[in-house]
């Protein structure tokens, strides 16, 4: 992930964009994962500037997605991601996830999902979210500094109703 960030920041497309967006700051890294926790996509790196987010796809070459609205709750602010403060690597976060997932979600059966490295509510987090085989979202956040589970939750995609 660090090498992808260096690739991005050294790219002429990014440098040109950055000159035009001098107030922009790094907000997140995103990638899709398969059920074995292997990356299914290139890293996508997000930058926030004036209530808009711009995402760069870091593959063999750098691509830029069109600027988009920010996905956040009205009272929340977008927080700057400082990679110098992240102590737990992607590989270490995956290892912690594999150790902790069965404890937190003993009946969980992973499908595909995604991972976001972000600063959220003043915490640096590796934010794993998967859809499970029973149509539930399983979310496990790992502190990117200490390597411990920060929080977890299950969200049912299908609500059962009582028919009479």
Closest CA to 53 of 64, 67, 43, 65: 67
Q: How does the average pLDDT of the chain come out, rounded?
A: 91
Q: Is the pLDDT of residue 114 over 70?
A: yes
Q: Is the pLDDT of residue 161 over 70?
A: no
Q: Is the pLDDT of residue 162 over 50?
A: no
> 4-48, pLDDT tens digit by residue?
999 999 999 999 999 999 999 999 999 999 999 999 999 999 999
Using 50, 70 and 90 to split pLDDT, how confident is the model at 159? low
Closest CA to 120 of 5, 27, 26: 27
> 65-91, pLDDT tens digit by residue?
999 988 777 788 889 999 999 999 999
Strands 123-132 and 43-49: unpaired
What is the pLDDT, as a whole number, of residue 157? Answer: 73
- The CA distance from 52 to 63, in Å, is 17
Using 50, 70 and 90 to split pLDDT, how confident is the model at 164? very low
What is the pLDDT, as a whole number, of residue 6? Answer: 94
Look at the pTM and tell me if it is higher than 0.85.
Answer: yes
Q: How far is CA 45 from CA 5, 82, 124, in A?
A: 8, 13, 15
């Amino acid at each position: 992930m660090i090498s992808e960030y260096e690739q991005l920041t050294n790219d002429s497309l990014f440098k040109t964009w950055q000159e035009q967006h001098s107030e922009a700051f790094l907000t997140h890294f995103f990638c899709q994962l398969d059920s074995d926790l292997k990356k299914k996509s290139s890293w996508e790196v997000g930058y926030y500037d004036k209530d808009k987010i711009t995402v760069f796809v870091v593959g063999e070459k750098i691509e830029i997605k069109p600027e988009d609205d920010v996905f956040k709750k009205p009272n929340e602010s977008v927080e700057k991601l400082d990679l110098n403060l992240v102590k737990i690597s992607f590989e270490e976060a995956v290892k912690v996830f594999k150790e902790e997932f069965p404890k937190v979600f003993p009946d969980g059966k992973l499908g595909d999902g995604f991972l976001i490295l972000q600063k959220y509510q003043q915490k640096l987090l590796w934010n794993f979210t998967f859809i499970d085989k029973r149509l539930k979202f399983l979310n496990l956040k790992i502190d990117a500094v200490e390597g411990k589970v920060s929080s977890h939750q299950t969200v049912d995609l299908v609500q059962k109703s009582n028919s009479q």
